[in-house]
């Protein structure tokens, strides 16, 4: 049960960095960070899930952390969603996706739009600090919380 840095190569040779935690045979869980964050926001969560037997990937979304910048400058939510599904397709069983903010929105799009179009999608979608219908007052509270807890992460 260890932490390993791994790279996924997606369309246009885009490299996506991730940290893997837990046993290779464990139930897969993907952790997708919010905008302006990296996979490191999920380190404590990834370690805990790994210690509990889950195979967990904390992913740097395109243009974040150690992942490549988009070669064509495409940072639409649909591209983030497609990237998540491309990684999820590599598992023998659908992973659970835990997404915060940007990662959660991309997860909703992936599950709601692309999975309907024949993609397998996720076994479950857990949303952190995001909902299908946002309240702007709540958004401001979350932004304040995130900016005051940048070093600690989730």
Distances (CA, A) of 65 to 23, 38, 53, 62, 77: 24, 5, 26, 8, 17
DSSP character string of 68-87: PPPTT----HHHHHHHHHHH
pLDDT in tens, the chain (154 residues): 457 999 999 999 999 999 999 999 999 999 999 998 999 999 999 999 999 999 999 999 999 999 999 999 999 999 999 999 999 999 999 999 999 999 999 999 999 887 677 788 999 999 998 877 766 776 677 667 667 766 666 5
Total-model pTM? 0.85
Q: Which stretches within the chain are classed as H helix?
A: 43-51, 77-88, 102-109, 136-148
Start-to-end C-alpha separation, the chain:
21
Q: Where are the domains of the chain?
A: 4-148
Q: What is the pLDDT of residue 1?
A: 46
Six-digit token string for 88: 């999820």
Fold classification of 4-148 (topology level): Rossmann fold (3.40.50)
Distance CA 11, CA 15 (A): 9
């Amino acid at each position: 049960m260890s932490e390993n840095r791994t790279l996924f190569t997606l369309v246009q040779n885009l490299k996506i960095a991730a940290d893997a935690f837990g046993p290779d045979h464990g139930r897969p869980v993907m952790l997708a960070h919010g905008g302006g964050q990296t996979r490191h926001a999920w380190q404590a969560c990834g370690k805990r899930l790994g210690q509990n037997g889950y195979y967990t990937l904390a992913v740097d979304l395109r243009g974040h952390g150690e992942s490549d910048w988009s070669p064509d400058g495409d940072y639409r939510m649909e591209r983030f969603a497609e990237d998540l599904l491309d990684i999820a397709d590599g598992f023998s069983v659908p992973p659970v996706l835990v997404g915060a903010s940007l990662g959660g929105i991309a997860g909703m799009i992936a599950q709601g739009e692309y999975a309907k179009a024949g993609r397998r999608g996720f076994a479950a979608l857990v949303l952190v600090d995001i909902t299908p219908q946002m309240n702007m007052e709540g958004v401001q509270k979350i932004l304040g919380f995130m900016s005051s807890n940048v070093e600690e992460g989730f």
